[in-house]
Amino acid sequence: MPTYIAFLRAINIGKRTFSKDAIVTACEAAGCTDVETYINTGNVRVTTPLRSRAKVEAALEEAFAASAGFDVPTIVLTPQELREVVAYAAKAAGSHEGRHYVSLLKHAPTAAQVKKLDGAGGDGERAMVDGRGVHLLLGQEYHTAKLTNAVVEKHLGVATNRNLTVIRTLAEKWGG
């Protein structure tokens, strides 16, 4: 059975709490097995008989909404896709010494969408789009950055954001 890595968007912020145990239970209710979570920011590895990323996302989102009581947009990658995001990170970063975040996209962007965001930035910030991964090279302070996941979503649609350390760790743990 295929393995997927799911990234949940906007959980455990304010009243949108969704515990790791509840996430595991919801994944199992969606028919997934071998469910494992990593830190409480919505990173989940699942095995499922479903063979389409879109079907996996839909099944998980339905189970998450039923369990959490609110919609939980979910971005699913294969282990290979996650490894590719990490592989591109070195190319994207070059000699950049600031923060490196990755926004993972629900849908692959069109060339026109990529053109609006790829290379954007200023004041030491830059966005680099590679498939469903948008690498945000920022200054030393994430919370004052102008390039944010909200900017990514404005141009490219639903996305969720993780720092590169988390992405690398997940690729090592779950990337096959």
* Structure tokens that stand for 110 in this block: 């069109």
Maximum Cα–Cα distance for the chain, whole Å?
46
Q: Answer for the pair 44, 25: CB distance below 8 angstroms, yes or no.
A: no
Helix 20-29 / helix 53-68 crossing angle, nearest 10 deg: 120
pTM (predicted TM-score)? 0.94
**CA 108 – CA 176 distance, rounded (Å):** 23
- Give the Å distances, CA to CA, from 73 to 62, 64, 90, 94: 10, 9, 28, 31
Q: What pLDDT, in 10s, does the model give residues 59-107? A: 999 999 999 999 999 999 999 999 999 999 988 888 888 999 999 999 9
Q: How many CB atoms lie within 10 A of CB 69?
A: 12
Give the helix/strand (H/E) hosting 117.
helix 111-117
Task: Name all domains of the chain by residue range, CATH numbers in brackets.
Answer: 3-77 (3.30.70.1280), 79-174 (no CATH)
Q: What pLDDT, in 10s, does the model give residues 5-50? A: 999 998 887 888 899 999 999 999 999 999 999 998 899 999 999 9
